[in-house]
A = this chain, B = another copy of it.
Amino acid sequence: MSLDAAVAAGLPTVKVVGTGLLGTSVGLGLASGGARVLLSDPSPTALALARDLGAGSAAAGDGADVGLVVVAAPPDVTADVVLAELAAHPAATVTDVASVKSGILAEVAARGGDLSRYVGGHPMAGRERSGPVAARGDLFIGRPWVVCAGEKADGDRVDLVRRLALALGATPVVMGAEEHDASVAVVSHVPQVAASLVAARLRTAPEGAVGLAGQGLRDVTRIASSDPLLWAQILSANAAPVLDVLTALRADLDGVIAGLASIAAEGGPGAGTPALGARAAVAKVVADGNVGRERIPGKHGGQATRYAVVTVVVPDAPGSLARLFADIGDAGVNVEELALEHAPGRAVGLVEVSVLPGVRERLEAALDAAGWKIVA
């Protein structure tokens, strides 16, 4: 889980085209590992900034020694830039970092680009801020970096892009462009739409309603703070796969709506005969969600693990968490997941500490002995 300088130093000269957040982060990470990085950007200011930050040196001359080009241009011009770089560096491998892959591959193919040398990429990392100033050499550490090898791509060049990911501390995941686009539709794009749809309902909700918001609502809507224009671009660029998933989701939603409408028509809560089929339709979506949720990989890329959750009341003051985690450490217990929840109107927090089930009792006993209030 770190930048891999040995891998970085073994890379050929890397040219980064586009010195925004992602391009500058690539340059910073590779340069810190000892790779030779050339930078290029249509904006002289952005280029100078990235260079001054230590992301590499400005590309000049014919760049005959460039072995790998990383195109980090805006999504709507990525294919153009990939084609230009394939032509400018006839021996180099060209990759990119755009978040949707099939369209770019299709356009490179349609316009005669050398598909043996183009290997698409998608580092699944980002920040809320953009631009070279927000860049960090360790932006990609521990994140998946999808490597989309087209059918005609040279194996050695696919391996080179994998090494690019490894040098930056990322986990390379090789898959086809269509599989990638279908995958991000279901694990990223549709969850974004769903979070936005739920949060949008709060827009007109009474003040008293939002005052009852709990951790569940906060979790479901956290990513609803995302940039609308960026997401319009992303969703539009992946329209067909997102459409497939949303259409299936809407069919399930229609089932829930039909079930609830049937129940509501019985005469309201507490009245009438239970519509067993309607209730079963409602339960089915929740049950299907159980099954889907179980498939999300757990820590360390392995199977999802069911952790035991110990909830501790923590005073809202500097040092409280330090004491808590010192006591947890003293108990020899490793924290698998954690979340801090705030109590409405109270100056304390509840820390939910997830641990392996086998150590739960030991942890509870140790925290109790140390004077912590355990809630659940």
Contacts and interface: CB of A to CB of B under 8 A. Distances in A.
A60 interface: no
Nearest to A331: B318
Interface in A208-229: 208-214, 216-229
Contacts of A298: 342
A190 B196 contact: no
A153 interface: no
A212 B188 contact: yes
A268 interface: yes
A141 B290 CA distance: 28
Of A79, A316, A340, chain B has the most CB atoms within 10 Å of the CB of A340
Given A322-B326, A325-B321, A269 B100 contact: yes
Interface stretch (A51-59, A65-73, A281-289): A281-289
Interface in A290-343: 290-301, 309, 313, 316-330, 332-340, 342-343
A200 interface: yes
Interface string A94-109: 0000001011101100
Contacts of A348: 1, 142
Given A250-B257, A260-B243, A322-B326, A219 B217 contact: no
Nearest to A319: B329
Contact of A183 (B200, B208, B291): B208
Nearest to A294: B225
Given A1-B313, A198-B194, A337-B340, A228 B296 contact: no
Interface stretch (A9-17, A41-49, A84-92, A233-241): A233-241
Chain A interface size, as a band, is: 35 or more
A192 B216 contact: yes
B127 A376 contact: yes
Contacts of A309: 128
Contacts of A374: 138
A203 B328 CA distance: 36
A344 B208 contact: no
A373 B138 contact: yes
Contact of A136 (B280, B349, B376): B376
A301 B211 CA distance: 8
A146 interface: yes
